[in-house]
Structure 1
Amino acid sequence: MIAFIDSPTGTTQGGASVLQNDAPLLDAYSQTVVNVAKKVSNSVVQIKVSGKKDPRNRQPNEGQGSGSGFVISSDGFVITNNHVVAGATKISALLQDGREFEAQVIGRDPATDIAVLKIYGDALKAVSFGDSKNLQVGQIAIAIGNPYGFQYTVTAGVISALGRSLRSEGGRLIDDVIQTDASLNPGNSGGPLVNSHGEVIGVNTAVILPAQGLCFAVSSNIAAQVAGQLIMKGRVRRGYLGIGGQLINLTDRIMQYNQLQTKTGIYIVSVEADGVAYNSEFQTGDIIVGFEGKPVSSVDDLHKLLIEDTIGRRSQVTILRNNLAKKITVIPGELK
C-alpha cells in the first residue's frame, strides 16, 4: 500500500510512523559521534614516514608515506601499526593543533602489527583503552584517522563481527580481530577505533579494498598488552603454539558436564606442523578451554598466558574433543 504524507508534521496515511519521531534518534546518534570526535581527535596523530624500502626491489623510496596513530600517555607514547613505520628512516607525528614532532621507534611487533613511538612535547592528551572483551556485534564503532593524507577524518559504523583472524605481513595470524563497517582507507592504518564513550576498542589495521564495509582492527586488549611490553622491553617475547583459532560459545550442557568455568573457548581452525613448537597432539576442531590449569575463554586469555617463561617448557592444555575435556601436552616455541 502506498502511504501519502498528509501534514507538515510528517504524519503519513496507512498507519506509517511520524517522521518527526525519528529526529531525536538521529540527533542522539549524531551527538554521540560529535562528542567522541571532540574527545578523541586531539589524541590522534598523523604519521609521516620516508625512506622506506620498496619490498619488490629493496631500494629506498624517497617519497613519503603516511598513516595514523594515537597518544596513549601524557609523556608521549604513541601507538600505530608496525607496517606503517617498518623500514622507515625518518618518522614524524603531526598533531591536530599543528605541532609536528620527530618520532622515535620504541618497539615493533610484526606478529600483531603494533608499534610504539615516542614523541616529546608538552600538553599531550592521551586516550584511554576500553575492554574489547565486552564488545558486542552491532554496537557503534567510530574510526578516526588520516585516509589519503586528509587529516582527522571521522567515519562511523558498527561492529560487524568479533573473533576474526587476520594474517599479518609476516605471515602470522593475528587473532581476536574486530570487523567493522566504519569506512577505512589507506592512511587510516594505526588510528583508533573507539566506542560511544570515546574509549579505544581497537587499532585499525587493514581493509579489503575490493569489498565494501570489510575493515579490521586489532582488539584493544591485545594492543594494550603488546604496547606495554614494547615500552618496557622494546620487543615482545611470547610463546607460540602454531595454531589458528577463533572464539566459540559453549552450551550449558557442555559446561556442566565438563565442569568448566568459561562460557566460551578457542576453536582450532588450523594447526601448523611442528617447528619451534611441539603441537602434534592438537587436532583441528579441538576447543581450548584451559592452559596450565587456568581457564581460557578467549584468544586474549591465551595470549596473556603464553608469556616468556612458557617458551621451551612442557605445558598442559585443556581441550574439548568430541565435547569431552582432556589434557594434552605442548611445548611452546618463541614467536619470531
Structure 2
Amino acid sequence: MTDPTLSSLSSALADVVARAAPSIVSVHSHRSRSTGFVWKQGLIVTADEALADEGEVEIGLADGRSVTATIAGRDHTTDIALLRADTGIAAVKLSATVPALGTLSVVVATNRDAPSATLGMVSTSGKSWRSLRGGDIDARIELDVRLRSSQEGGLALDAGGEAFGMAVLGPRRVLVIPTATIERVAAQLETRGRIARGYLGLGLQPVRLDDGVAAMVMNVDKAGPAAAAGIRQGDVIVAVNDQKLSGVRALVRTLGPATVGTVVDVAVRRGGEPVSFKVTVGERPEA
C-alpha cells in the first residue's frame, strides 16, 4: 500500500526540480565540467573554482545544443564567476531567504550534461562569514549532501522551490553561496568585470611589540597610497583608525570594496617615535 504522505512529498520535490531545471546549464572549460544557471538574460552564474584559468568556455543546453561563452568577470574570494552567453533561456528567480537548520534542500544541477538532482538537508545555517580567500559571504549555509564535481555551481532549493543560492564544494563539505552574495558580486562583475579591493601599497611583516602585535613596512609601492601619504620602509604600523592591529592578514581583510576612496588614520612608530598618517585607500591593481 502506497504511503500518501511520501507519495505527496515525492511529487512535490519532482515538481520543484522540474520548475528549476530549464534554467540550469552545463559549463565546459579546459579544466572540468560543472554547472551554472541563468542569472539574467544572457548571463550565467557558475562556480569560479571550477573554471580553467584560460581557454574557451562552452555552455551545454538541455536540448543538446552548445554555445560559446565569454567570461564577464570572476571573483575567487567568493567563488562566483559570471559568463556571457546567448542561450535564449529564461533566468531563474533567486530568493533572499536563508533556510532554517534542518530544512530539506534539493540541488538541481547537471551531470554528464544531463539534468540531475540530489536531496539533502541544511546542516548549518548561520551568520555571515569570511572565506579563506578573504571574500565576504552573507550567510553560512552548509548542506548534508554529496555532490559530484560536475554538479558544482548548481542551484540549491528548499522544499518549496525557493532558490536560496549556489552549491559549491568546500574543503570538507558542500557550501551554499547565498543569494545576497550572488546578487552583490555578480552585479559588480557585470558592470566592471572584477571586484574592487582596497589597496595601501605596502608589503608588511608581522612583528611583536611589548604592547601587542604590529606590522613592519618591508617595502612600499612608490606609486601607491601609503607612499603618497608619507609612510616609509621601516615604519611599524601599530593601529588603523584607532584600532590596534590584530595581524597583517586582519588588516588586509579589512580592505574590502567599500574602503576604496575612504581615508584611514594609520598610526606608526618611526625610530621609536609615534607618527600618524592619513591614507586614502586606493584600488588594488589587477594581478
Give the TM-score normalised by the residue count of structure 1: 0.59
Partner residue in 2 for 1:121: 87
- Alpha-carbon shift at residue 200 of structure 1 (Å): 2.1
**Does the CA-based 8 Å contact 1:69-1:80 persist in structure 2?**
yes
Call closer, same or farther: CA 1:104–1:36 in 2, change over 3 Å: same
**Does the CA-based 8 Å contact 2:164-2:178 persist in structure 1?**
yes
Partner residue in 2 for 1:256: none
Q: How do residues 269-308 of structure 1 correspond to structure 2 at under 5 angstroms?
A: 278=240, 281=243, 307-308=257-258
- Alpha-carbon shift at residue 150 of structure 1 (Å): 5.7
Partner residue in 1 for 2:184: 225
CA distance in 1: counterparts of 2:146 and 2:105, whole angstroms = 10
Partner residue in 1 for 2:66: 100
Q: How do residues 51-62 of structure 1 correspond to structure 2 at under 5 angstroms?
A: 52=31
3-state SS of 1:104 partner: strand
Paired residue type of 2:58: S
1:172 aligns with 2:161: no
| Structure 2 unaligned spans of 5+ | 200-212, 218-225, 227-238, 247-253, 266-278
Paired residue type of 1:227: A
Partner residue in 1 for 2:260: 311
**Does the CA-based 8 Å contact 2:78-2:131 persist in structure 1?**
no
Partner residue in 2 for 1:110: 76
Would you tell me which structure has more strand in proportion to its own residues? 2
Give the root-mean-square deviation of aligned CA atoms.
Answer: 3.5
3-state SS of 2:92 partner: coil
Partner residue in 2 for 1:244: none
Partner residue in 2 for 1:131: 96
CA distance in 1: counterparts of 2:121 and 2:47, whole angstroms = 22
- Alpha-carbon shift at residue 24 of structure 1 (Å): 2.8
- Alpha-carbon shift at residue 173 of structure 1 (Å): 4.9
Q: How do residues 1-336 of structure 1 correspond to structure 2 at under 5 angstroms?
A: 23-50=3-30, 52=31, 65-73=32-40, 75-122=41-88, 124-132=89-97, 134-147=98-111, 149=112, 151-162=114-125, 163=127, 165=129, 167=131, 171-173=133-135, 175=137, 176-208=139-171, 214-238=173-197, 278=240, 281=243, 307-308=257-258, 310-314=259-263
Call closer, same or farther: CA 1:226–1:164 in 2, change over 3 Å: closer
Call closer, same or farther: CA 1:33–1:86 in 2, change over 3 Å: same
- Alpha-carbon shift at residue 227 of structure 1 (Å): 0.7
| Structure 1 unaligned spans of 5+ | 1-8, 10-19, 53-64, 241-270, 285-302, 317-329
Q: 1:58-82: per-residue Cα shift (whole Å, max 9, x none)?
A: xxxxxxx211100112x32100011
Q: 1:203-234: per-residue Cα shift (whole Å, max 9, x none)?
A: 1111446xxxx311111110111111111111
Alignment size in residue pairs: 231
CA distance in 1: counterparts of 2:153 and 2:65, whole angstroms = 19
Call closer, same or farther: CA 1:106–1:150 in 2, change over 3 Å: closer
3-state SS of 1:72 partner: strand
**Does the CA-based 8 Å contact 1:279-1:331 persist in structure 2?**
no
**Does the CA-based 8 Å contact 1:76-1:121 persist in structure 2?**
yes
- Alpha-carbon shift at residue 121 of structure 1 (Å): 3.3
CA distance in 2: counterparts of 1:99 and 1:194, whole angstroms = 26
Call closer, same or farther: CA 1:224–1:68 in 2, change over 3 Å: same
3-state SS of 1:137 partner: coil
Paired residue type of 2:140: V
Call closer, same or farther: CA 1:207–1:109 in 2, change over 3 Å: closer
3-state SS of 2:150 partner: coil
- Alpha-carbon shift at residue 112 of structure 1 (Å): 0.5
Q: How many percent of aligned residue pairs carry the same amino acid?
A: 25
**Does the CA-based 8 Å contact 2:24-2:110 persist in structure 1?**
no
CA distance in 2: counterparts of 1:136 and 1:198, whole angstroms = 14
Paired residue type of 1:281: Q
CA distance in 1: counterparts of 2:122 and 2:280, whole angstroms = 35
CA distance in 2: counterparts of 1:151 and 1:280, whole angstroms = 56
- Alpha-carbon shift at residue 98 of structure 1 (Å): 1.4
CA distance in 1: counterparts of 2:107 and 2:17, whole angstroms = 9
